[in-house]
Structure 1
């Protein structure tokens, strides 16, 4: 089923309707700023915003609206960057190398089960202890870090772990 994203995007004249833009930012609504003739574009835009100058070709407008929707959807899944920073929604947290290695399969299969043996293999490859207690200790530390960005590591008894929003 295809969602009509155009109806969810608010079109806001910039800078005349700056208070409407602030409302959109506070509510995290998708917002396309229409920059008025002669006005400078906004210096910063959030993940939920984009801007254009009129006149705009209809196919370009549709492309901007699709891009806005795609960025907003991406913001609903956690992203682990190569520098070891985990981003989720509007928050971020820095992780250790071991935490990144353990979190990578949990993030790539966000909301799905990652078996305990997979995490054990990761610890073995890194040269760390891979005992059951060591896995539990690493997961406990990971839970604390992920809680800072609104994520939880849920234990699936006897099988493994799932990362999901709090």
Structure 2
């Protein structure tokens, strides 16, 4: 897997290959800029970029490549941080504590079914009403918040819900 990630990262000399950097940015490729001696590093890095100066120790290079790959996860799977902010692709949205608690299993099983009973239990544990209507109201509010970052909540009739890209 490390080899696969390394093969996905484009190594670009900066500033000599600035046109290649622009192409990588447009295509959302992972890009490690190799800043040439005496050149200032770029000030406007995208989330898919990082930079180093040669010579670089192999362990440091591997760490930078792994870090880029970790950032790239934001483009494929939503990430919910402990502060209650949901990140997906280039967007983020702040969620309430109850929304975070309900969203946690939906994100951990991204694009897969989460049963209504699981979400009802979460509402019960938080002290909120866990009736079917209350659950549907919470899901409706969550659905509105998730649309802001390009995610949808699909109802699987009689079973549960799935969070997926719009």
TM norm structure 1? 0.87
CA distance in 2, matches of 1:7, 1:47: 18
Post-superposition CA distance 1:69-125 (Å, at most 9, x none): 343135411111122111001111111222111111111222222111111112122
- 7-16 vs 155-164, greater mean Cα deviation: 7-16
- 70-79 vs 118-127, greater mean Cα deviation: 70-79
Aligned 8 A contact 2:116 2:159 in 1: yes
Partner of 1:147: 147
Q: What count of residue pairs does the alignment treat as equivalent?
A: 166
Partner of 1:96: 96
Secondary structure in 2 matching 1:128: coil
CA distance in 1, matches of 2:7, 2:116: 44
Secondary structure in 1 matching 2:102: helix
Partner of 2:86: 86
Post-superposition CA distance 1:53-79 (Å, at most 9, x none): 122345544443344234313541111
Aligned 8 A contact 2:74 2:87 in 1: no
CA distance in 1, matches of 2:61, 2:127: 52
Runs of 5+ consecutive residues of structure 2 not aligned to the other structure = none
- 35-44 vs 25-34, greater mean Cα deviation: 35-44
CA distance in 2, matches of 1:2, 1:15: 27
CA distance in 2, matches of 1:53, 1:3: 22
Structure 1 residue 158 and structure 2 residue 161: aligned? no
Partner of 2:106: 106
Runs of 5+ consecutive residues of structure 1 not aligned to the other structure = none
TM norm structure 2? 0.87
| CA RMSD in angstroms, aligned pairs only | 2.1
Secondary structure in 1 matching 2:152: strand
Mapping for residues 27-46 of structure 1, pairs under 5 Å: 27-46=27-46
Secondary structure in 2 matching 1:12: strand
